[in-house]
Amino acid sequence: MSRKIKLALVYRDMWQSAGKYVPRVDQLVRVAQPIIDMGCFARVETNGGGFEQVNLLFGENPNQAVRKWTQPFNDAGIQTQMLERGLNGIRMSPVSADIRRMMFALKKKQGTDISRSFDGLNNPQNLENSFKFAKEGGMIAQGALSLTFSPLHTIDYYINLADQYIDLGAEEICIKDMAGIGRPVSVGKIVKGIKDRHPNILIQYHGHSTPGFSVASSLEAARAGADIIDVGMQPLSWGTGHADLLTIHAMLKDAGFEVEDINMNAYMEVRRLTQEFMDDFLGYYINPLNRQMNSLLIGPGLPGGMMGSLMADLEKNIRSLNKWMAKNGKPDVSQDDLLIKLFNEVEYVWPQMGYPPLVTPFSQYVKNVALMNVTQMEKGKERWSMIDENTWGMLMGRSGQLLGPLGEDLQALALRQKREPYTGNPQDLYPDELELFAAEMEKNGWDYGEDDEELFELAMHPAQYKDYKSGKAKEKFNADLEERKAKKAQSTGTTATPIPAVTIPTASIPQPRNITVDVDGEKFKVNISYDDAPSGNENNSSSSNSTNQNSSQSSPPPKVDLSSYQTIEAPLEGKFYLTKESSDRPVKIGDIIHEGDTVAYIESMKVINAIAADKSGKIVEITAKHGEDIEEDDVMFKIV
């Protein structure tokens, strides 16, 4: 008698693996019924991962999107599943336990049945709360083994890891082959090993197609006892996404498995609608390279889910790097050249960084370090000269223990920077803070929403939620989309339909101004701001700005000879901050700084980079604006 294999459509991950954004809620609702009508899916991945964050980024309420998107599947009896990141919840950085607990109860109320929980380091300690909170909230707790290929990540390692997850409360196991580099025979042996020990545990295989193994891996997983296989479908299958439904379906049937028939009329409608969503606006964020399979990724093992953001980062970095090359009389570097150098550098740095599984967020950390190494070395600087604070947290054990030791260079660098390893429970570093966000909601007069879902959104994604509430997110997204449409129209000779620009009258807003003051015979250029119009130095409350707010000047200040000034320039583009936390003390005009001192932070490629001074002196001007975008090589500080 043939064994039945179920299929799951990873509709959310199809989009995240192709580009940055997911469809709008009105689009998701339109495609739900045709997906149901296909008749072949037992499960649909509806949300989790970056779903809510990117909803906020284009100005849409993710809570409403989740409720409306999951409802048709709930009504049809198709299970819905989400992806969650353990200690990080559904964001890129750690979150307190009380917010994590709230998430599971809320997502169940919003219509999500299954939580696929993974930890970027496969740390059972970080997933214990995920399994506990998921079951408390009424969800099915699925533990995901983040698959990678290294001398340390053996078949026995994964079988034993599954034992630990099940002991901690996991009700199902997912083989999460996020980069598609799991070797098919090894995938089969892992599944069989788990089934031999836990015959009643449901196993779901999730494999990206990127280097080409996933079709064979799906068959090996099914033969070894897997119960459900994740699939994608056209036009977003293959490439950095997932093996196509039609291919997997035909292969399983030929191998003697029982699978539900596909309603091809419904299939074609889902295919048509998905293409329509791409043509509408999402296609502008999908790099063509992400639609291609690439066996070069067998070596670096970068996951499909991050390739969309990687290509966006690469686009920015190649632009910044070539601007530097031109300024220094060097030839341009092509995107293909930089990509190959990046892949090679990932292969080099990954063992040095302790072999973290290349899954969110640690795949981002490894990629970011590799990309910074490549660009810095192109400029004649040393490897490891730019490591962001998030990555240092991972290296020092603040997300859990790495499987391998750090390389000698990183150990020496940590010692020079007086960084102390952490061996405790990572959750203890992030005390409960839901009450703080509740107080902020009250202060702003914001409604908590159904089941306190708006409070949750602020707590989980503070910066993005505030931009969404202010309208800044939608305005920024529309401007970016308009620019992309215009570029495409220009390249194809068509006419783009402009999005109306939002203009803000400035006549009634007090504007900051500059004056030059003389202190003990030394001239300083000072930014003056008004109480209700923060300047770029709004955090410099103790600077000389406050002492000169009432100064007036009837004519422009005399020009100052800046030839003797030195500058500290931004080493990368991103969003500039004087402090990482609101409680931190920012540097200010008049401060003496020394080479190596941290003087600012730049948020770039989803992480916070501490910016060290490359020279010593006294700060006489802070030219970058706190909280605003900055380009590589822009001047941040002037010093004497």
What does pLDDT average to in each consecutive run of 10 residues of the chain (640 residues)? 92 87 93 98 95 91 96 98 95 93 98 96 95 98 94 95 98 94 95 98 95 95 98 93 96 97 98 92 77 72 61 70 80 79 88 88 86 85 85 92 93 90 94 96 96 96 93 91 84 56 34 45 46 38 36 44 75 84 79 86 77 87 87 87
Domain boundary among 470, 490, 523: 470
CATH number at residue 543: 2.40.50.100
What pLDDT, on the 0 to 100 scale, is given for residue 271?
97
Determine, yes or no, domain membership for 419: no
What pLDDT is attached to residue 304? Answer: 59
Residue 394 near residue 362, CB atoms below 8 Å: yes
Can you tell me the distance from the alpha carbon of 603 to that of 344, in angstroms, rounded to the nearest whole number? 25
Of 234, 256, 291, the residue at which a domain comes to its end is 291
Confidence (pLDDT) at 310: 65
Tokens of 338: 């930089």
The answer as to whether 306 is a domain residue is: no
Would 65 be classed as within a structural domain?
A: yes
Domain that holds residue 544: 513-639
For residue 203, what pLDDT is reported? 98
Q: What is the pLDDT of residue 612?
A: 82
- Given a contact cutoff of 8 angstroms between Cβ atoms, the answer to whether 322 and 332 are in contact is yes
Distances (CA, A) of 541 to 14, 73, 534, 635: 47, 53, 11, 21
Q: Which tokens in the block code for residue 470?
A: 């202010």
Burial of 561 (0-12, 13-18, 19+ CB in 10 A): exposed
Residues 156 and 55 in one domain: yes
> Would you state the torsion angle of the CA atoms of residues 390, 99, 400, 13, taken in this order, to the nearest 10 degrees?
-70
Is the same domain home to 445 and 526? no
Same domain, 195 and 90: yes
Residues 465 and 577 in one domain: no
What is the per-residue pLDDT across 70-126, written as a single tens digit (0 to 9) for each?
A: 999 999 999 999 999 999 999 988 999 999 999 999 999 999 999 999 998 999 999
Residues 129, 45 share a domain: yes
Domain total in the chain: 3
pLDDT for the residue 344: 87
pTM over 0.85: no
